[in-house]
A and B are shown apart, each in its own frame.
Chain A
Amino acid sequence: MASRTVAAGSARPAPARAQGRTVRRWLRRNRNAVRLAGALAVLIIMLFPVYWMVISALKGQHDLFSTPPTFYPSHANWGRIGSAVSTYVHPLVNSVVISAIATVITALICVPGAYALAKLGVSERVTSVLMVVILVVQVLPTIMLVSPLYEIAIRLGILNQYWTVGLLDSMYSVPFGLLVLRAYMVALPSALREAALVDGCSEQKVFLRVILPNCKPGIGTVVIFAFLFAWGDFVFGLNFTNGPAVQPATVSLYEIIGRDVQPWGQLMALGTVLAVPAVVVVLIAQRALQQGVAGFGIDK
């Protein structure tokens, strides 16, 4: 490029232009390879923080604080992840229990609710009012609901219980689940239900035997997201539990961050364990994931 500025007005730009043309031609000829390289670069950059967490968890204490940092562990020190699991086994079990409760509540509320809104002939006006309410509810800042809910929980004396935190955690997924499942059920052919009714099935039986089996993928999506949302919660876990009895693992992580000197290896190890559900979902539930993402963007 320097040659170009020096030799302004002379014959020099021609080779530069020719060179540019060659580069462009090369790019065009290898378009697929260039695109793939770009895509892989993006993936590496975007996943680097996750990679950094995992290898920080695996590094020995010396590697962890070395300058320059090491980009792969000289020897994988799995012991730290093992000890994170064994030290925080109780909070991790709490997280699983709370997330499972939240998931079950979400399914119990959303599947019948969405079915009623989609197929049971709720009048159009009522449906549209309810849909707007659900959208608005999804917009409510969670944090503003914390102190009123806290007051209710105190009054009812239900602080520090699995059910309370599970119920609260389901608030992340119920509006979402209603929207996603309703869209899913609207798309089911009505003939399915009507044929079963004409054959003499009761409404309950139609729901259990015909609708549920046909909604498995949609229900799967909602269940997976309900679990992930509850698993990731820490606002409700922080405010509605005290002490280690019910406290989820996200709150344990938060408490370690709050220490004066952070044990980074331990933090990264517990973070890695907490990342497992997300990674598992990405690896085995792609279709549900795609549907879930679409559910956020294009609400019906």
Chain B
Amino acid sequence: MAKLDLTTPVRPLLRPGRAGPSRPRRSARRLVRGLWSFKALCLLPAVAYVILLFGYPAVFSIQLGFYSDNAAQFITHTGVFVGFANYTQLFHDATFISALLHTLIFAVVTVVAQFLFGLLIASLLNKQGLVYAGIRTLLLVPWLLPLIVSGNIWIWMLDNFYGVINYFLVTLHLTSHYVAWLSSPNLSLWAVIGANTWLGIPFNVMIIYAGLRAIPVDLYEAARVDGAGPLTRLTRITLPQLRDVTGVLVLLGIIYSIKLFDVVWVMTKGGPANASQVLGTLEYQDTFELNQYGYGAAIANVMLVLSMIGGIVYVRFTRRGIRNG
């Protein structure tokens, strides 16, 4: 409750030898009262915002998961309470299981790929100077684009008649003919993963770059004196020193993958035949296209539980990092 910091130059003005705010009592009380109301004025909008726009809908969604609402019942509040029926149905639903699996694959592959590319590019760009600063900044463009625009670019680049990626692959003799990336059940998930990896790399680069900057140069010099090669320096210095950064990136990547919706929805709508269906797109489809609001909410709640697990680990992780740092 450090309302007045007595070590500041304020001190000479105060009566010496008293703890706490030591201005005359009445004005002190007025100050406290004023502070309280002003504090409330500042804080309450934020608290109300979080409760109304995040808290209430989240609670509503949890409740909805126990009801059998369709669109009409949803609007008129006449859904029937069905207990855990939505959830038992969920775990017998092959589409849901495969969406869960796809989300898992998506999370693992994007997190690993983004981190490896991020580490490679960040080390390459870990150099002072205007040119490198410029490159690092320009690199952020893909990350800042509206997701729908990125998705749109990739649909066009992956086109099975005119797509430039197919042109590259055929020219480099990696494939013999143009491939229908987005409409083939074996490839659509990988196409979406590729696009998503691309747009997440810049963020990973920036965070890893910040982590690399924080490693003391002495460590590398000492290692070099001791005759450590580049590989040893990577595994013995860089990676251990980047442990916290890696943890943050992995957790944020997993949480992001659980939340994932926009990119997949724009590129494939989860298709063809659910081949790239992830939890987010399935939830949206069941809710807004099949009008199963209750069932959709059950899927949303599974996403909620998964991301909460990620979130709790994340909170603990950053807390520990702060305490240690």
Contact = CB atoms under 8 A, between A and B. Distances in A.
Contact of A297 (B150, B207, B322): B207
A297 B249 contact: yes
A165 to B, nearest CB: 13
Interface stretch (A10-18, A32-40, A215-223): A32-40
B245 A297 contact: yes
B9 interface: yes
Nearest to A290: B206
Interface in B11-38: 13, 31, 34-35, 38
A197 B3 CA distance: 11
A116 interface: yes
Contacts of B127: 35
Contacts of B203: 293, 296
Contacts of B39: 116, 120-122
Interface stretch (A72-80, A82-90, A230-238): A230-238
Contacts of B312: 136
A5 interface: no
Nearest to A239: B288
A152 interface: yes
A120 to B, nearest CB: 4
A47 interface: yes
B46 A110 contact: yes
Given A141-B300, A278-B144, A147 B293 contact: yes
B126 to A, nearest CB: 10
Given A141-B280, A203-B35, A116 B2 contact: no
Given A203-B35, A253-B149, A286-B137, A297 B8 contact: no
A297 B153 contact: no
B201 interface: yes
Contacts of A278: 141, 144-146
A42 B203 CA distance: 15
B315 A135 contact: yes
Given A174-B49, A203-B35, A275-B149, A141 B43 contact: no
Given A109-B46, A123-B1, A257 B137 contact: no
A281 interface: yes
A282 B144 contact: yes
B10 A198 contact: yes
Contact of A67 (B153, B167, B288, B307): B167
A203 B207 CA distance: 37
Nearest to A279: B141
A108 to B, nearest CB: 7
Q: Is the interface of A mostly helix, strand, loop or mixed?
A: helix
A135 to B, nearest CB: 5
Which of A65, A112, A274 has the most CB atoms of chain B within a 10 A radius of its CB?
Answer: A112
B104 interface: no
Interface stretch (B54-62, B106-114, B185-193, B232-240): B54-62
B162 A65 contact: yes
Contact of A275 (B58, B131, B145): B145
Interface string B112-143: 00000000010011010001110101111110
B233 to A, nearest CB: 16
Interface residues of A, number: 101
Contacts of A3: none
B50 A53 contact: no
B307 A140 contact: yes
Contact of A191 (B5, B43, B46): B5
B301 A38 contact: no
A297 B46 contact: no
A50 interface: yes
Contact of B57 (A38, A65, A152, A233): A152
B322 A300 contact: yes
A68 interface: yes
Contacts of B293: 147
Which of A136, A147, A204, A262 has the most CB atoms of chain B within a 10 A radius of its CB?
Answer: A147
Which of A35, A171, A204, A298 has the most CB atoms of chain B within a 10 A radius of its CB?
Answer: A298
B308 interface: yes
A46 B201 contact: yes
Interface of B: 1-5, 8-10, 13, 31, 34-35, 38-39, 41-43, 45-47, 49-50, 53-54, 56-58, 60-61, 64, 74-75, 121, 124-125, 127, 131-133, 135, 137-142, 144-157, 159, 161-162, 164, 167, 171, 198, 201-203, 206-207, 210, 245, 248-249, 252, 255, 258-259, 261-262, 266, 280, 283-284, 287-288, 293, 296-297, 300-301, 303-304, 307-308, 310-312, 314-315, 318, 322
Given A121-B2, A271-B149, 19 more contacts: A43-B138, A46-B142, A65-B161, A116-B43, A116-B46, A130-B47, A133-B50, A141-B261, A145-B61, A147-B288, A147-B293, A151-B74, A174-B50, A191-B5, A191-B9, A234-B266, A235-B261, A297-B245, A297-B249
8 contacts: A38-B124, A68-B171, A116-B42, A117-B43, A145-B54, A149-B53, A235-B262, A300-B318
Interface of A: 35-36, 38-40, 42-43, 46-47, 49-50, 52-53, 56, 64-65, 67-69, 108-110, 112-113, 115-117, 120-123, 130, 132-149, 151-152, 154, 167-168, 171, 174-175, 178, 190-191, 194-195, 197-198, 202-204, 207, 228, 231-235, 239, 250, 253-254, 257, 262, 264, 267-268, 271, 274-275, 278-279, 281-282, 286, 289-290, 293-294, 296-300
Q: 3 closest pairs, A vs B, by CB?
A: A113-B46, A144-B300, A232-B146
